[in-house]
């Protein structure tokens, strides 16, 4: 397994083509806006080194028997799935933001099942190729970006009917030794901190869409791949001197738009090629795993609740009954989220490939809760934090020789707490509920791993309504056979 320092060094060796604010980023590792997101991924390495977290952060590879980072593991039991949920909470609480490495783990696990199932049906060799790739990822302890979301253009049209056929990533040329692909993947979490990019289709497909039914993996610095960094609110605060106004002084997340401009993929890296009838399965399996992964929001919720309790104490309002009650409510919602990600893991089952898969109904219910509770937790956090969270002068004003003394004097809460500490904790709450980390805690909670309606469709498909109705009729004394 890599140390965090080895991880950062390994990124220095990559030559990713990255743009931000219209300019090419020459030194990703030391870029002040990107570096906090790299630090968050590095936490997935450092925590795996700590003796007290070995059980959660590491696993035994089912292909080599070696000890590996859990982020590269294929789940072999319910216990593995439960530990995955615990790992998400642990790292969310450690970083207070999106630590980005789950998408690759979820892509690997979904592919371990889908490649097996395609081979069973079509007598292909995808699973063998995949396992070879998996071993490479495990032995080098790599970060993989799981790239699913296509730009999608006109949402009312399937891929093959789009006016611009590149709206869904597709094969444009087949060669003897591989394929050439073109298209883009949007909202790619952790893309520029990844060694590999694993591409999957974004929706289920019909035969006419088979050129879009692709899955493959490439090194992230492959020729023809370009990354365009997404903006986050308050992102340029990271360029300022000082660290108070950043809120989270060490960690952050990032997303990027990834362009594939006629990129060559060798056959040994192709895991699905025009098998349109398996596109939907791969999407569903990845999405269910990723809906479980939103255990991370529980960990970020832990940070937010801790910050709010601290802010209340700094203001001297911690004993007010409504404040105590609101904090209880925040905890109740946060632990309800935890129940969901533990439940879908505990109720998981073994698939034919041997991989353990979450209970999809419960994973969807969990993610549906994630689209709501963090918003409500954030609302209560802002209620208790008070308006100063958004009207507070800058760090430079606090440190100004002219006005600093007034900021210090008038923004003080209880007399035992330095004004700077009060401002710092409010900036952290601002960061999670309005700033750079709100991308992960709020909007990604809404749309990541599928927007709310996607889970509602799955819930309606997966509940056993007939059984519920039969039970109700029986108890009501209705025994007629309705077929
Ligand atoms: Fe992982 Fe959560 Fe970030 Fe998704 S949002 S990559 S599940 S930390
Ligand atoms: Fe996500």
What is the structure's pLDDT at 361? 98
Distance of CA 326 from the midpoint of ligand 2 (Å): 28
The band of 479, judged by pLDDT with boundaries at 50, 70 and 90, is confident
Query: Which residues does a 6 A CB cutoff place in the pocket of ligand 1?
Result: 98-100, 102-103, 189, 293-294, 296, 440, 444, 448
pLDDT in tens, 162-185: 999 999 999 999 999 999 999 999
> Which tokens go with 324?
């105590």
Distance of CA 39 from the midpoint of ligand 2 (Å): 18
434-372-361-280 Cα dihedral, nearest 10 degrees: -50
Looking at residue 439, the DSSP 8-state letter turns out to be: I
Report which bound ligand comes closest to the CA of 254: 1
Active site residues: 98, 102, 189, 255, 290, 294, 296, 444
Q: How many Cβ atoms sit within 10 Å of the Cβ of residue 10?
A: 15
The interaxial angle of helices 452-462 and 279-293, nearest 10 deg, is 110
Burial classification of residue 139, based on how many CB atoms lie within 10 Å of its CB (0-12 exposed, 13-18 middle, 19 or more buried): middle
**How far lies 380's CA from each of 296, 319, 373, 413, 426, in Å?**
20, 16, 11, 20, 14
Q: Choose the CATH number for 4-278 among 3.40.50.300, 2.30.29.30, 2.40.110.10, 2.40.50.100.
A: 2.40.110.10
Pick the more confident residue, 481 or 377: 377
Q: What mean pLDDT do residues 253-257 have?
A: 97
First to last CA, the chain: 58
pLDDT in tens, 297-343: 999 999 999 999 999 999 999 999 999 999 999 999 999 999 999 99
Name the residue with the closest Cα to ligand 1, atom 6: 100
Position of tokens 């889908």? Answer: 114
Domains of the chain: which residue ranges?
A: 4-278, 292-470
Q: Which of 5-19, 111-125, 428-442, 469-483 has the lowest mean pLDDT?
A: 469-483
Can you name the CATH fold of 292-470?
Butyryl-CoA Dehydrogenase, subunit A; domain 3 (1.20.140)
Alpha carbon distance 22, 209 (integer Å): 34
Q: Residue 14, by phi and psi: left (phi above 0), alpha (psi -120 to 50) or beta?
A: beta
The band of 2, judged by pLDDT with boundaries at 50, 70 and 90, is very high
pLDDT in tens, 202-250: 999 999 999 999 999 999 999 999 999 999 999 999 999 999 999 999 9
Distance of CA 464 from the midpoint of ligand 2 (Å): 28
pLDDT in tens, 54-96: 999 999 999 999 999 999 999 999 999 999 999 999 999 999 9
Pocket test for ligand 1, best of 39, 85, 103 (most atoms within 8 A of CB): 103
**Is the pLDDT confidence value at 13 over 90?**
yes
What percentage of the chain exceeds 70 in pLDDT? Answer: 99
What percentage of the chain exceeds 90 in pLDDT? Answer: 99
Phi, psi of 21 (to 5 degrees): 50, 40
What is the structure's pLDDT at 67? 98
Q: What mean pLDDT do residues 360-373 have?
A: 98
Alpha carbon distance 225, 259 (integer Å): 6
Distance of CA 284 from the midpoint of ligand 2 (Å): 14
Report the predicted TM-score, pTM, of the whole model to 2 decimal places. 0.97
Pocket test for ligand 1, best of 194, 296, 297 (most atoms within 8 A of CB): 296
The number of the ligand 1 atom at minimal distance from the alpha carbon of 103 is: 6
The band of 104, judged by pLDDT with boundaries at 50, 70 and 90, is very high
The string of DSSP codes covering 354-396 is S-EE--HHHHHHHHHHHTTHHHHHHHHHHHHH-THHHHPPPHH
Phi, psi of 272 (to 5 degrees): -160, 125
Distance of CA 271 from the midpoint of ligand 1 (Å): 24
Residue pair 412/230 in contact (Cβ under 8 Å)? The answer is no
**Is the pLDDT confidence value at 397 over 80?**
yes
Report which bound ligand comes closest to the CA of 40: 1
């Amino acid at each position: 397994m890599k140390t965090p320092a080895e991880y950062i060094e390994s990124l220095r060796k990559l030559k990713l083509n990255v743009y931000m604010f219209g300019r090419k980023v020459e030194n990703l590792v030391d870029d002040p806006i990107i570096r906090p997101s790299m630090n968050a991924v590095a936490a997935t390495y450092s925590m795996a080194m700590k003796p007290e977290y070995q059980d959660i952060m590491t696993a035994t590879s089912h292909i080599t028997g070696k000890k590996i980072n859990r982020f590269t593991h294929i789940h072999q039991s319910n216990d593995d799935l439960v530990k995955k949920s615990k790992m998400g909470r642990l790292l969310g609480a450690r970083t207070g933001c999106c630590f980005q490495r789950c998408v690759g783990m979820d892509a690997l696990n979904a592919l371990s099942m889908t490649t097996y199932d395609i081979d069973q049906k079509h007598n292909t060799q995808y699973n063998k190729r995949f396992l070879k790739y998996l071993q490479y990822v495990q032995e080098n302890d790599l970060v993989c970006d799981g790239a699913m979301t296509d730009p999608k253009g006109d949402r009312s049209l399937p891929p093959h009917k789009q006016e611009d056929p590149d709206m869904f990533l597709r094969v444009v040329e087949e060669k003897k030794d591989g394929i050439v692909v073109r298209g883009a993947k949007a909202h790619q979490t952790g893309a520029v901190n990844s060694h590999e990019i694993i591409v999957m289709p974004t929706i289920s497909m019909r035969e006419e869409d088979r050129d879009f039914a692709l899955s493959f993996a490439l090194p992230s610095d492959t020729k023809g791949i370009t990354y365009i960094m997404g903006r986050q609110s308050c992102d340029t605060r990271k360029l300022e001197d000082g660290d108070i106004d950043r809120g989270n002084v060490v960690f952050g997340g990032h997303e990027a738009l990834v362009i594939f401009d006629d990129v060559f993929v060798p056959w040994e890296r192709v895991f699905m090629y025009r098998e349109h009838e398996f596109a939907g399965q791969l999407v569903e399996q990845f999405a269910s795993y990723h809906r479980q992964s939103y255990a991370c929001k529980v960990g970020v919720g832990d940070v937010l609740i801790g910050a709010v309790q601290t802010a209340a104490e700094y203001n001297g309002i911690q004993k007010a009954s409504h404040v105590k009650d609101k904090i209880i409510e925040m905890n109740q919602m946060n632990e309800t989220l935890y129940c969901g990600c533990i439940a879908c893991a505990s109720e998981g089952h073994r698939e034919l490939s041997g991989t353990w898969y979450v209970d999809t109904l419960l994973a969807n219910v969990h993610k549906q809760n994630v689209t709501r509770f963090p918003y409500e937790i954030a609302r209560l956090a802002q209620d208790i934090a008070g308006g100063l969270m958004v009207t507070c002068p800058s760090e430079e004003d606090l440190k100004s020789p002219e006005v600093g003394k007034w900021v210090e004097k008038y923004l003080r809460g209880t007399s035992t707490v330095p004004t700077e500490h009060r401002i710092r904790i409010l900036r952290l709450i601002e960061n999670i509920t309005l700033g750079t980390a709100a991308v992960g805690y709020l909007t990604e909670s809404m749309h990541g791993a599928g927007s709310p309606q996607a889970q509602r469709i799955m819930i309606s498909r997966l509940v056993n309504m007939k059984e519920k109705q039969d039970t109700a009729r029986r108890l009501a004394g209705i025994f007629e056979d309705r077929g």
